[in-house]
Chain A
Amino acid sequence: MTKHTSTCTVDPRIETRTSALRNIDSYIENSRNVDSCIASSAIAGPCKFASALFLMVLFFAAAGCGERDEADRQTGLLDGEGVAIEGAWARPGSEGGMSAGYFLITNFDTEADTLVGASSEVAELTEIHESYEREEGMMGMRQIDRLELPPQSTLRFEPGGLHLMFIRLQENLTVGDEIEVRLQFSSGEEQSVTLTVQN
């Protein structure tokens, strides 16, 4: 439930490294449970109590954002190099079908980087996608060609948002399998990441 309550930046996908690490355990857990994208639903009748509670949690979390940002500034630059991936996992899938991959990606550098693509042998196509809500409650999915990673920040690939999309799987993905993905950056560099298949 804490997953979406700690971000005070304009783009909800971007957060500081400190708050990202603070929440990584809950990210992994919530990514499975996905009690995450709660805010826009479920608020009538029996849902009202839980929603009111959730509103209070969010309000107080927002109230603390200023203090956290200040704390982050006082800690100075983040301790790390380049781009790091954590908490990577993927949905199970059947040969010929689809799957999605999720992780936290952090840019430790003081300059922005850009994720421009991904590839994997487990699927005919591996693309960066984003789920979003269109008008009138319609949910859509679109391909992202370039994804900027601001300096000293973390982006969340998570259910209901950014994700890697594996199109036409070349093999079955079952719980416990590990799949290799190569992420490509605008600098020309590539980085391998291992995703564990889980539900």
Chain B
Amino acid sequence: MIHPAKILITAALLLALTSGCTPQNEEQPGFSGASFQMVNQQGENIQFPDDFAGSPVLIGFIYTHCPDICSIITARLHQVWDEMDRSDEVQFVIATFDPERDTPDVLLDYARNFGMDNPPFTFLTGEPTEVERLMEMAGVRSEISERRETESGDPFYLIDHTDNIMLLDEDGRLVMDYGGSMTPTHILVEDLEEIL
């Protein structure tokens, strides 16, 4: 008799084979031809993706008040950088979809915690309307899921969000859209090395 666990796991993996890790096609958004006025963790103006032209970009989308999934995404980019032989030819970008709280100073503190406060790592925030425009083009969705006050009376909220890491080519075109927290480091490394 077939063990039920076999059936469940096989079914789950067959489902997985048909989803996630989407290669570029005509339906996928890319950044080529678009331009966004952003600010990095040092408070400097950054034109995205223009300022990264000429290098592949691995970009993750997070908010810093998310210590679990978003920390996985952030750490994943660091792991890719750490494991790549030619990481100096790649730009690593983390963009927040919570610009109200994720100011440049907050992003700088956050980046320091992961040892990512210097190039080739760039953390991006900006005016809320510009961040919203960037997320819309990237296909990154987010919505406030819980809003309350802490014991000290400070407002606090959590955000539900899609789980994305994207690989862009040197012209800002989308090469691959990954399940951000779920994609093994070696797959990202292999894909990056393939386009270098």
Contact = CB atoms under 8 A, between A and B. Distances in A.
Given A44-B20, A167-B156, A138 B161 contact: yes
A141 B70 CA distance: 11
Interface in B60-78: 64-69, 71-72, 75-76, 78
Best-surrounded residue of B15, B72, B78 (most CB of chain A within 10 A): B72
Interface residues of B, number: 62
A199 B75 contact: yes
A99 B70 CA distance: 11
B16 A40 contact: yes
A162 B67 CA distance: 12
Interface string B149-169: 011101010101111000000
Contacts of B163: 133, 137, 139
Contacts of B179: 40-42, 137
Nearest to A159: B72
Contacts of B178: 41-42
B191 interface: yes
B64 A97 contact: yes
18 contacts: A34-B76, A34-B181, A35-B186, A38-B184, A41-B21, A42-B187, A44-B21, A47-B20, A62-B3, A62-B6, A100-B68, A137-B162, A138-B143, A139-B161, A141-B145, A142-B146, A160-B68, A160-B69
Interface of A: 1, 8, 32-35, 37-48, 50-51, 54-55, 58-59, 62-63, 65-66, 91-94, 97-100, 124-125, 129, 131, 133-134, 137-142, 159-160, 163, 165-168, 173-174, 199
Given A50-B184, A165-B68, 9 more contacts: A41-B21, A44-B20, A45-B21, A46-B191, A47-B183, A50-B190, A55-B10, A91-B71, A94-B110
